[in-house]
Structure 1
Amino acid sequence: MSHKIKEIREALDEIQENRTFSLEVRYEEKELVSPISRESHSYVREEEVTGRDDDRKAILEYLVNVETIESVSFIAIVGIGGLGKTTLARLVYDDDVVKKHFDLTLWVCVSDAFDLKSVIGKIIKSASNWSIDQNLELDQLQRRLRQKIDGKKYFLVLDDVWNEDSTKWDSLSSLLMGGARGSRVLVTTRSEKVARVTRPFQVYHLKVLDQDKSWSLFEKQAFGQRLDIEKSDFVALGKEIVEKCKGLPLAIKSIGSILYFKTSKADWLFFKDNELAKAIRQEDNIIIPTLKLSYNHLPSYLKHCFAYCSLFPKDHEFEVQMLIKLWMAQGFIKADQNQCLEDIGYGYFLDLLWRSFFQEATKDEWGNIWSCKMHDLMHDVANLVAGKGSVLIDKDFINFDENLVHVSFPDLSVNNTVSFLKNVSPLLRRNYKLRTFYSPPFIKKPWYDSESDLESVLTNCMGSCFKLLRSLALGSFRSVKKLPSSLGELKHLRYLDLSHFDEIQELPNSITKLQNLQTLNLEGCRKLSSLPKDIHKMVSLRHLLLIGCRSLSHMPCRLGELTCLQTLNMFVVAADRDIKQSRRPRRKNMSIGEVGELRNLNSLRVLRIENLRPDIEGSENSKLQEKQHLEELTLSYSLKFDGHIDDHTLVEKYEKSLKLLQPHPNLKTLLVRIYMGEGLASWVTSLNNLVQLSIWGCTNLKSLPEAMGNHSSLRHLSIWGCPNLISLPEGQMLRALRRLTIISCPFLLQRYNKTSGEDWPKIAHIPNVEIY
């Protein structure tokens, strides 16, 4: 390789010596100009628009009846391409209410790269109906603009805006501020990020059409006023076709127009079965190229991330953090030395969401987005730009290409996956470029007729086809009882998903050779009894996922050397079966990691400690108070503790042990389980950023600290199985809550129930209350 590099350098030096161009000019990404003409106009016939009447009324309300602080204020309509943003803006622009309310109405299609002189010239042209001399200086243009709009109550539509540069926008908006009070600027864009740059008083997210409105639009396009066919014969077929359009008006109108010229039911059936996908995808059609404009405007680092989403099936619900981990594994996320890859990746995701590449985002308790979906037609764009190197394999394997880089098997049986690997492994050995092998866990346990054959195929691939793999998920193989030791040869691997491998009792110690591995998912491996003793060698590990590993008896020692670890969602404290009243000192098992292993893991964000006991040693050495990045903490005590001590001493020991586990004040989520103290530790009151507090199965708990009443950040309080808890602290905490859950707490049920509880008025304002 060194010789090859030397030859390349020498060749480049020779080119540079004879160059007529500069190799020293550094490439910088610039704003792209749309490859398709997007010039829009302000006229639309109202009878041609279907399903947007409610949207029109909402926008008119913001334009005419809503008072704002600024004289000139901004509204943004946001949505994916083909959704009808421009059509809605035209409908509003031509409304009689708008014409009567504003002195001046202006329409400008921005579309191309955002050039201040060009935009100002278009506004002046819209106001005066004559073209501007392109040689005029900016100062001359801005004077003419102010002559047209200053002192007038105007309505300006800026259609199809792509600019994300706030300085460019500020330069334009400052020139628009001379209008009379009540002036409005309506911006249409595919990107919420663009919308936010305009600092609007209202962002209106345009949705897809519902089923009834979709059919109404299709019916108008496909049938019109024609009398040569009996419409009722085509309804069932038409509704199947409309379902494929997923409420996107552009797709519905385009396909309806195609079918208008097909007069027989056989033609419609053939179109549905053979031409529908082609009509949506083909390059010379308007639908996909229109949506692809959004992709063309992405910076290169986001293009990789978006194209990678083609590996998942349509209508897939993306788990955001898992997607970010997969992006990290492929090296798509770039960060400086002091930046966190996960934070940068979440920023990437938000950027794609704001640009309408994702939709149906679901948020957690503190506002972070944890799942989303992608529109089917946007998924087609992802397939288009990903090309043949990234495919979702179907049962016929027709998508396979010898240059395959990323492959997923979301819907295949184990037999089909194994058959595929047998068929293509010789080819992959010759051209082993594979970077992703993604087979998600099956909900039901997969069946295969030959376990030995299954393990043999897996072993064969480990040693040949998977050498350059970055991401590996083996859901199709979860019935194997033993993983091959050759797993440790995948030295480039960064993401490994072995979740729900029900039969695995231990992992090969060779797995600890994976020193580039960032994510190891072992969730649901219910028979896994221990982790490899040399796991401390996996120095790049950031996420160790263990929820559902119910047979895991302990953690290995030296786990504290994994200082990059951010997620450790199950740290199992070893059960000490030698607790006796004997005074003879116990011999320490050097292979078992204790709570003190946590002391150096200061990058932790998620931590769950299981099997805690009130007499456990080393709790103070965990140094949870120093973990400033820790956001989620679960402290779960053992049900099996038997210390042969009187109740009062037992309570004191519990309270002391909880006191020693004080976390950093930055904590956002806390769950305490099966804790037998009578009161929570006082440090709970110092958690000023706490958003969610859960207290489950704490049967001795009698009260919560009164100072908790001062908490203003708490949004969700969940209390379950605390029969001795009498009341809740009053004050700011109750006023700030958005969800309160109380289950199997008889005293609290009596005081706070809606029908007869004396303290119901204190919680009646909380939007979500469950008490039973």
Structure 2
Amino acid sequence: MDDLWDDKILDEFRRIFPDDDNRSRISLTSRLSSVTVNVDSSACIHHLGFLSPKQSWSLLCQKAFGNECCPPEIEEIGWRIAEKCRGLPLALAVIGGVLYKAEKTRANWEYVAENVKSAVTGNDDDFMEILSWSYDHLPHRLRACFLYMGVFPEDYVIHVSHLIRLWVAEGFLKPNTHRSLEEVAKEYLEELIERNLIIVRDRIYTGEIKTCNIHDTMRELCTRKAQEEKFLYVTNQEFDISSEVMKNQRHLSIHPNEQNADIYDSTIRSLLYFTDSLLPNSLYFQLLRVLEAGSINFSEFPMEILKLSNLRYIALSYSGKFKIPASITKLCNLQTLIVFESYGAEILFLPRELLKMPRLRHLLFDNGVLRCSDGPQNVNLQTLSGVIDFKLTHEALRTIPNLRKLGISYHCETHTELSLYCLENLVHLHQLESFKCYVISNDCPYIPLPQNLAFPPNLKKLTLSGCRISRHNMFLVGSLPNLEVLKLKEVAFENNAWETEGEFSRLKFLHVEASHFKIWEAEAAHFPSLHCLCIRGCMSLKCIPSGIGEILTLQQIILYGCPPSVVNSANSMLEEQQDWGNYDLKVHVIYPFDYYDRENQKISPDSDIVEWAIEILQRF
């Protein structure tokens, strides 16, 4: 049974074909993961992935040549065509049919290779009709979220946090009294993934989806359906955005190579720029909710946006001296404000009035100075990231009681003490799940963390950078009951040693980067849930504790710029695990620069491996 959409149909089939224990079987396919699970949770479920390049080429040849062989002069072009179908069997079958009917010349095949998408979607109405079934079977609450995926350019890596903030601002989500809008958005995203409409690119070790994207063919479906329904228009180099075709469109996405033109349409709810362009001379969009202009470099704040009272989301980039006016409070519906630095940008000074905006949910900066005075509670604010020297006074914390993500950098001089910033009050942020603390000092390389520092018990992700960490501090970190990700970046341990205490009961990812770190003592019982250990730049470390190799959950050890003794200890663990029959553990060794071993043999880095390692490290 192919392409099943409703598991209740099988109840009828069970009556017609009862299980007579004669070893007969029913095989079915579905685009909905939930259908296969509901049919029989104990059944053998095979999740089809995309075809490999070799499989893609084989299917293309089968459709384009039948039983004949591909002529050698067009084989290289054929491989390119197969690659551009990105492993989708349906696309390969359609393009193979096009090539089967065409003359087998280099010119014809080169033309198809340059126009694969239009050849697939424009030459077979059945192709788009088959894809449309996925949209037609979507619940109405998911349709806007799916169509919105068309705003992103082809092959764009979509950060889930970015996508969710946009969905929330657009008002696509049905409010739930027991969960936040962000939690509802994650549920919607999971549903679209289960329906195989969105592809997961990266998950972090906590299981959360980090990035996703959408296949070219599904994106084509998005843009077609969206334009038909006057939901979204995506500009391109052949389209004048002031023409009749975009009238009454609700969302407008502007990609590279667009034609500059003024836009006059009061129906636009969203204006999203994915290219460095210019804002329209006149922003006359009284219904505008989203202004995504992070790719545009502003030298001064665009004051005209303060007239757009319905704005819920603003993303900007700036250079030079940039100031956000206190009058931004006129935007009483604002939920998300993102202001990032471009080249030559100075420190951003933020108005005190910012935290008095009651609907704010997310504030993200690169380097923003924010002074917090006693004021009304901002119960909706969840994210405050990229602020400098932010004092965690009782008054400040009363203003932002429900914060979930906090990122602060402290710029310290020789005699500066971090206790000045009231870090001991951090424990009162009961909803806090992620805390990043960066200490920057040119005079004294490692400023000690306060001894009275205490962390809230709900903390799941912790990053400490540029500071000196005492044994007592590390004991407190190890006692956090919900901690899953710990990153220690360019830190110093007390006496350059870490004698692990406490049980990091739920820790899945541990990153340690400490150039003077010499001795590490730990047992498997200290990290019972660890999946990945990353050690970077620990040039003084003698070895990894042998107990680490006995952790049953450990899957990866990543060593980036570490001495041979550390590499040898990791390889010993690997060999021991393999002797026990455990082949799940992988050890990755990366030298980011030319390195000389004990025999004075030069080891040069593999650029591909270094690039992969940096991607892995940034994933967390």
Q: Same fold judged by TM-score > 0.5?
A: yes
Equivalents in 1 of 2:44, 2:429: separation in Å?
Answer: 39
In structure 2, the residue matched to 1:410 is 255
Q: Secondary structure at the match of 1:491?
A: coil
In structure 2, the residue matched to 1:420 is 261
Q: Secondary structure at the match of 1:609?
A: strand
Equivalents in 1 of 2:287, 2:126: separation in Å?
Answer: 39
Equivalents in 2 of 1:312, 1:498: separation in Å?
Answer: 17
In structure 2, the residue matched to 1:401 is 246
Q: CA shift at 1:239, angstroms? A: 4.1
Alignment of 1:240-639 (within 5 A): 240-263=80-103, 265=105, 268=108, 272=112, 277=117, 280-281=120-121, 285-387=125-227, 389=230, 390-397=232-239, 400-412=245-257, 416=258, 419-421=260-262, 425=263, 428=264, 431-440=265-274, 458=280, 460-462=281-283, 464=284, 466-475=285-294, 477-478=296-297, 480-499=298-317, 501-524=318-341, 526-547=345-366, 549=367, 552-558=368-374, 561-573=377-389, 596-611=395-410, 613-614=416-417, 616-617=419-420, 619=422, 623-639=425-441
Q: Is the Cα–Cα contact under 8 Å of residues 205 and 531 in structure 2 kept in the other structure? A: no
Cα offsets for 1:281-336 (capped at 9, x unmatched): 35972211112111111111111100111111222211111111111111101122
Q: Which moved more, 1:528-537 or 1:241-250?
A: 241-250
Partner amino acid, structure 2, of 1:502: S
**Would you tell me which structure has more helix in proportion to its own residues?**
1
Q: Is the Cα–Cα contact under 8 Å of residues 329 and 354 in structure 2 kept in the other structure? A: yes
Using a 3 Å threshold, how does the CA distance of structure 1 residues 748 and 313 change in structure 2: closer, same or farther?
A: same
Q: CA shift at 1:602, angstroms? A: 2.7
Q: CA shift at 1:679, angstroms? A: 2.3
Cα offsets for 1:461-507 (capped at 9, x unmatched): 33x2x3211111124531x31123222111111111113x2235212
Equivalents in 1 of 2:122, 2:145: separation in Å?
Answer: 23
In structure 2, the residue matched to 1:167 is none
Q: CA shift at 1:122, angstroms? A: 3.5
Q: Secondary structure at the match of 1:659?
A: coil
Q: CA shift at 1:509, angstroms? A: 2.5
Using a 3 Å threshold, how does the CA distance of structure 1 residues 532 and 254 change in structure 2: closer, same or farther?
A: same
Using a 3 Å threshold, how does the CA distance of structure 1 residues 502 and 231 change in structure 2: closer, same or farther?
A: same
Identity of aligned residues (%): 26
Cα offsets for 1:23-81 (capped at 9, x unmatched): xxxxxxxxxxxxxxxxx5xxxxxxxxxxxxxxxxxxxxxxxxxxxxxxxxxxxxxxxxx
Q: Secondary structure at the match of 1:524?
A: strand
Q: Is the Cα–Cα contact under 8 Å of residues 80 and 113 in structure 2 kept in the other structure? A: no
Partner amino acid, structure 2, of 1:678: S
Alignment of 1:683-762 (within 5 A): 683-699=476-492, 701-702=494-495, 703-704=497-498, 706-708=500-502, 710-721=503-514, 723=516, 726-734=519-527, 736-745=529-538, 748-750=541-543, 753-754=565-566, 761=573
Equivalents in 1 of 2:72, 2:537: separation in Å?
Answer: 57
Q: Secondary structure at the match of 1:555?
A: coil
Cα offsets for 1:217-266 (capped at 9, x unmatched): 22222222579xx9445445544543443322222223322432333649
Q: Is the Cα–Cα contact under 8 Å of residues 377 and 401 in structure 2 kept in the other structure? A: no
Q: Secondary structure at the match of 1:254?
A: helix
Using a 3 Å threshold, how does the CA distance of structure 1 residues 376 and 559 change in structure 2: closer, same or farther?
A: farther
Q: Secondary structure at the match of 2:125?
A: coil
Q: CA shift at 1:741, angstroms? A: 2.8
Partner amino acid, structure 1, of 2:49: K
Equivalents in 2 of 1:314, 1:242: separation in Å?
Answer: 17
Alignment of 1:145-164 (within 5 A): 145=18, 149-157=19-27, 159=28
Using a 3 Å threshold, how does the CA distance of structure 1 residues 398 and 287 change in structure 2: closer, same or farther?
A: farther
Consecutive unaligned residues of structure 2, counting only runs of 5 or more, are 546-564, 578-584, 592-620
Q: CA shift at 1:392, angstroms? A: 1.6
Using a 3 Å threshold, how does the CA distance of structure 1 residues 728 and 769 change in structure 2: closer, same or farther?
A: farther
In structure 2, the residue matched to 1:191 is 32
Partner amino acid, structure 2, of 1:730: E
Partner amino acid, structure 1, of 2:181: L
Matched, 1:663 2:455: yes
In structure 2, the residue matched to 1:63 is none
Q: Secondary structure at the match of 2:25?
A: strand
**Would you tell me which structure has more strand in proportion to its own residues?**
2
Q: Secondary structure at the match of 2:348?
A: coil
Using a 3 Å threshold, how does the CA distance of structure 1 residues 384 and 749 change in structure 2: closer, same or farther?
A: same
Equivalents in 2 of 1:714, 1:112: separation in Å?
Answer: 39
Q: Which moved more, 1:744-753 or 1:309-318?
A: 744-753
Equivalents in 1 of 2:109, 2:588: separation in Å?
Answer: 51
Partner amino acid, structure 2, of 1:205: H
Equivalents in 1 of 2:479, 2:353: separation in Å?
Answer: 38
Q: Is the Cα–Cα contact under 8 Å of residues 406 and 435 in structure 2 kept in the other structure? A: yes
In structure 2, the residue matched to 1:69 is none
In structure 1, the residue matched to 2:549 is none
Q: Is the Cα–Cα contact under 8 Å of residues 571 and 587 in structure 2 kept in the other structure? A: no
Partner amino acid, structure 1, of 2:362: H
Matched, 1:676 2:517: no
Using a 3 Å threshold, how does the CA distance of structure 1 residues 338 and 623 change in structure 2: closer, same or farther?
A: farther
Equivalents in 1 of 2:498, 2:295: separation in Å?
Answer: 48
Q: Secondary structure at the match of 2:464?
A: strand
Equivalents in 2 of 1:704, 1:237: separation in Å?
Answer: 57
Q: Is the Cα–Cα contact under 8 Å of residues 250 and 269 in structure 2 kept in the other structure? A: yes
Q: CA shift at 1:618, angstroms? A: 6.0
Equivalents in 2 of 1:234, 1:206: separation in Å?
Answer: 30
Consecutive unaligned residues of structure 1, counting only runs of 5 or more, are 1-39, 41-85, 87-108, 128-144, 160-187, 447-453, 575-591, 643-649
Cα offsets for 1:602-652 (capped at 9, x unmatched): 3222112221752544626x743233332211233342688xxxxxxx99x
**Larger RCO of the pair (alpha carbons < 8 Å, separation 6+):** 1
Partner amino acid, structure 1, of 2:256: D
User: What RMSD, in angstroms, separates the aligned Cα atoms of the two structures?
Assistant: 3.5
Q: Secondary structure at the match of 1:748?
A: coil
Q: CA shift at 1:715, angstroms? A: 2.0
Equivalents in 1 of 2:104, 2:590: separation in Å?
Answer: 60
Partner amino acid, structure 1, of 2:250: V
Alignment of 1:27-176 (within 5 A): 86=2, 111=4, 113-115=6-8, 119-123=10-14, 125=16, 127=17, 145=18, 149-157=19-27, 159=28
Q: Secondary structure at the match of 1:156?
A: coil
In structure 2, the residue matched to 1:106 is none
Partner amino acid, structure 1, of 2:23: K
Using a 3 Å threshold, how does the CA distance of structure 1 residues 351 and 260 change in structure 2: closer, same or farther?
A: same
Partner amino acid, structure 2, of 1:684: V
Equivalents in 2 of 1:564, 1:150: separation in Å?
Answer: 59
Aligned positions, number: 551
Give TM-score scaled by structure 1 length.
0.64
Partner amino acid, structure 1, of 2:32: S
Q: Is the Cα–Cα contact under 8 Å of residues 311 and 408 in structure 1 kept in the other structure? A: yes
Equivalents in 2 of 1:215, 1:758: separation in Å?
Answer: 40
